[in-house]
Amino acid sequence: MSVIKTSVSRNTWKIWVYLFLFILAILILFPLVNTVSQSFMTNQEVNVFPPRIFPFEPTIQSYIQVVTQGDVRLDLWLRNSLVAASGYTLLVLLICSPAAYAFSRLNFPGKKILFAILMVTIMIPGQVTLIPNFLLLRDLRWLDTFYALVLPGAANVFGLFLLRQFFMQIPRDIEEAVVLDGGGYFARFRHAILPSSGNVLAALSIFVFLGHYNDLFWPLIVTNTLETRTLPVGLSIIQSSYAGQFRPMILAGAVLSFIPILVVFIFFQRQIIKGVVTTGMGGR
């Protein structure tokens, strides 16, 4: 009797968990499915009441429009976003990893003070530097260029801390092998530290990349021509100029903009999820 009772209660408990998961899954998926579905409607069909969730006669008219409309340049915006985010990620790795090595392994005068300054700056939000950096880039005539999107955030203190924390855990024996071969500090960093840090460098890259790729504020203020916009900025502009007239085109733009990241996620899903946990970064 008691055996039956526990197995029944265990099963009912499982049913509740599944019910919760399915409801949550519907809440997550419904907006996405609705968007994809309505992007195949005509301009008339999205504006009928009551709203239709599935198109009566699916058409790719909105997708044709979004790639041919003269002032909607998803191709250029995507390229700009990818180039800027990759360049930024590369630069962050290039300047943060040697600095993290110095902080984790080397002794030098001023180390403690420098580290304390960096700790304090973590508390200062990015808005403080926005206006002076904007003015500097304007004076250098770098607004509307790749430099404006890439340079200002390159000294990523969070990345430095993350790498330092990881480098400190690498056993010293690995470095000693390089020292025995007569290698200097650079050789130790290059041949001992970097090869042992693949995972953390990958995790940091993914989040630095996603954070930059998804940023809206900075690219909005430092770009001002159609050709130099990034994807989030471009999307926000077509929303304000075309939402009233061509709703399916807007939805098609949103769908197309999400495809590259979704593809990356499908391939690197395990690494990304592991990276979220180890870095404690959500990607924005």
Partner 1 sequence: MAGIETYQNKKVILSKERTVPFYLKLKTREAVAAYIFLAPFLIFFSVFFIRATITSIRLSFFDWRLLRPDITFIGFGNYIELLNDSIWWSAVQNTLFFAIMTVIGATIFGLAAALAVTRPIRGGEFFRVLFYVPQLMSVGAIGLIWNWLLNTQFGTINYFLSFFGIASVNWLGNPDIVMQSLSMVTIWWTFGFPMLIYIAGLQNIPEQLYEAARIDGANAWQTLVYITLPLLRPAILFVMVTGFIGHFQVFGQPQIITAGGGPGRASWTVIIYLFQNAWVAFRMGFGTAIAMAIAMIMAVVTLIQFKLINRNVEY
Of residues 218, 216, 259, the one with CA closest to residue 235? 216
Instruction: Please provide the DSSP assignment of 64-96 as one string.
Output: HHHHHSTT--HHHHHHHHHHHHHHHHHHHHHHH
Tell which positions 203-222 bind partner 1, by CB under 8 A: 210, 213-214, 216-217, 221
Q: How far is the CB of 74 from partner 1 (least distance, A)?
A: 11
- Residues 6 or more apart whose Cβ sits within 8 Å of residue 3: none
Of residues 55 through 74, those in contact with partner 1 by CB under 8 A are: none
Minimum distance of partner 1 from residue 177's CB (angstroms): 19
Of residues 174 and 265, the one with the C-beta less far from partner 1: 265
262 forms part of the interface with partner 1 (CB under 8 A): yes
Residues 108-167, interacting with partner 1 (CB under 8 A) = 108-112, 114, 118, 121, 123-133, 135-136, 151-155, 157, 160
**Rounded CA separation 91/134 (Å):** 19
- What is the distance between the alpha carbons of residues 250 and 228, in angstroms, rounded to a whole number? 20
- Of the candidates 208, 248, 255, 207, the residue with the CA atom closest to the CA atom of residue 231: 255
- Using the contact rule CB under 8 A, the part of the chain among 19-27, 56-64, 174-182, 197-205 near partner 1 is 19-27
Residues 88-117 that bind partner 1 (CB under 8 A): 94-96, 98-99, 101-103, 106-112, 114
How open is the CA angle 97-98-103, to the nearest 5 degrees?
95
| Binding range to partner 1, per CB under 8 A, among 57-65, 171-179, 195-203, 244-252 | 244-252
By CB under 8 A, the residues from 21 to 40 that bind partner 1 are: 21, 24-25, 27-32, 34-35, 38
